[in-house]
Amino acid sequence: MLDLKKIRENPDEVLKLLHQRNTDYQLQPILDLDSQQREMQSVRTELQARSNEIGKIIGEKMRQVGANPQREKIQNLKEEGNQVKAKLAQLEPEERELKAKLEALLLELPNLPSETTPMGKNETENIEVRRWGDEFIPDGSHILPHGEIGEKLGIIDSQRAVKVAQSRFVALIGMGAALERALINFMLDRQIEAGYIEVMPPVLINSEALKGTGQLPKFAEESFKCENDDLWLTPTAEVPVTNLYSQEILEGEKLPIYHCAYTPCFRREAGSYGRDMRGLIRLHQFNKVELIKLVRPETSAEEHEKMVNNAEAILQALKLPYRVIELCTGDIGFSAAKCYDLEVWLPSANTYREISSCSNCHDFQARRANIRFKDKGKKGTDYVHTLNGSGLAVGRTMAAILENYQQCDGTIKVPDVLQSYVKTDCIG
RNA sequence: GGAGAGGUGGCCGAGCGGUUGAAGGCGCAGCACUGGAAAUGCUGUUUGGGGGUAACUUCAACGAGGGUUCGAAUCCCUCCCUCUCCGCCA
């Protein structure tokens, strides 16, 4: 959520930044509602002050003289109290409605891009920051797409998974399951070494949590919802882990907080019919190890770079070629002020595919989820900055391994760092 | 799922219709005392919105939302959550 005060005081600047996202958001309705609301508030506040005053006077009189004498004066005051109350009863719902409308509009506004986010209208204007591991790019001529080789080796079974669920689900069998589990453990072990505290959060989460990180109200159709409860299947661990701290005032010295979390993630993938129908790239359920940070505002840019490095370290350890993309203003996500994507080399497609997305949300989520910090001895509070990044998407990492480590005989070499986890050096 | 208890400030804990943003204690900060410290004493110590350059001022908040009342932390209703016992269960 954007700072209403900032919108009020610098509407032109805010609007300019919003438009960098290549959208046509309007601020005027918000500004109008805001000034109406504030006007109404000052009227209401005065009435309430009078009402409080009447209550006090009556209280005093009752105590001084008991209930008996001066009854008339008290009656008059009570009468006035009733009149004030009647006016308030009229004003209050109106003001509440204004506030609700204002809030609804504010919740629909995306974050402002960071001043360091490159300008651009869509993904074609993203910037490649660096590339790693060109020397590990295999000769692609013999390489089968990961889905195909996986089915062939009997470690991915999508046909049977469809019977149990529907399309865009897979079952991992035998070494497939083992490799997935190995990747999860490996990623967690590395990130814990890098200083992240592991969390196993709920994966069924309520609406408030989704609102806190920005998935609601705008993107309801992206998530699976339980019919009988206010619970949703988490689309990413970012949601439950960040919201662990909602409504809290953290002690300044407890920051930064680093968390990593393995969870399955669930996404409806509405609007992507027909895309990536084979393999592990786009599933309704996939595993991910997520990195989450809550930091002091002045350190968030630096913490963001470090987080990207932590994600890259996994790809480097696995010797998977990748590149780092800095998303432009037209392509960053709703909650992000700045975002880097990591894209891994997929030889069968002869292209890089997103395997991690690392966002700095500044105080956008912290405002929605109301996560603040306070320094001892200083007065007042400030919103933390929240960051999240995949470290990494496990299914896509598996896909990358099945392709980049595919050998001419159709077997898969197990990356060195995983061999102790799966207890073999070759699959197939 | 059934029965009961409860949700108050950073924490513990009182208050159960009248000036209570909230006693008391702990913690924390400042000052005094001290050679220095402990102990002691004094003072201060929530958050959010509005107005004001500021000093300051005003409103709101005792799980959430309604209701009764001139006035609610206190009474009534609904919901949420926590705990205990029973049942069920990985």
- A268 belongs to the catalytic site: no
Q: How far, in Å, CA of A133 to CA of A319, rounded? A: 7
Calculate the angstrom distance between C1' of B85 and CA of A201.
Answer: 29
Least confident of A128-132, A197-201, A251-255: A251-255
Tokens 């002050």 belong to which residue?
Answer: A49
Q: Return positions of chain B under 7 A from a protein CB.
A: 10, 18-19, 28-29, 47-51, 58-60, 66, 69-71
Q: How many CB atoms lie within 10 A of CB A19?
A: 12
What is the per-residue pLDDT for A144?
Answer: 95
* Among candidate residues A261, A241, A196, A242, the one with its CA nearest the CA of residue A392: A261
Mean of pLDDT values over A86-95: 88
What is the per-residue pLDDT for A77?
Answer: 87
Task: Please name the residues in contact with A355: beta carbons below 8 A apart, sequence gap of 6 or more.
Answer: A315, A322, A342, A343, A344, A390, A392, A393, A396, A397, A400
What is the per-residue pLDDT for A387?
Answer: 97
Calculate the angstrom distance between C1' of B40 and CA of A376.
Answer: 26
pLDDT tens digits, A121-177: 999 999 999 999 999 999 988 899 999 999 999 999 999 999 999 999 999 999 999
CATH class of residue range A123-427: alpha beta
Calculate the angstrom distance between C1' of B68 and CA of A90.
Answer: 18
Calculate the angstrom distance between C1' of B56 and CA of A35.
Answer: 24
Query: Which part of chain A has CATH 1.10.287.40?
Result: 4-108
Mean of pLDDT values over A76-89: 90
- A8 belongs to the catalytic site: no
> Nearest residue to nucleotide B70 when comparing alpha carbons to its C1'?
A78
Q: What is the strand order of the sheet A127-132 is part of?
A: A127-132, A322-326, A338-346, A351-360, A385-393, A285-295, A257-266, A197-199
Task: Please name the residues in contact with A390: beta carbons below 8 A apart, sequence gap of 6 or more.
Answer: A288, A289, A290, A291, A311, A342, A355, A356, A357, A358
Q: How far, in Å, CA of A270 to CA of A272, rounded? A: 6
- Model ipTM value: 0.86
DSSP A153-191: HTSEEHHHHHHHS-TT--EE-THHHHHHHHHHHHHHHHH
> Nearest residue to nucleotide B59 when comparing alpha carbons to its C1'?
A45
Q: How far, in Å, CA of A365 to CA of A247, rounded? A: 12
What is the per-residue pLDDT for A286?
Answer: 96
Least confident of A17-21, A77-81, A258-262: A77-81
pLDDT tens digits, A324-376: 999 999 999 999 999 999 999 999 999 999 999 999 999 999 999 989 888 87
Q: Which nucleotide is nearest to A58 (CA to C1')?
A: B70
* Residue A31 pLDDT grade (very low, low, confident, very high; cuts 50, 70, 90): very high
Protein residues closer than 7 Å by CB to strand B? A 4-5, 38, 41-42, 44-46, 48-49, 51-56, 58-60, 62-63, 77-78, 81-82, 85, 96, 249, 372, 374, 376-377, 379-381
In CATH, A4-108 is 3.90.180.10 = no
Query: Which part of chain A has CATH 3.30.930.10?
Result: 123-427
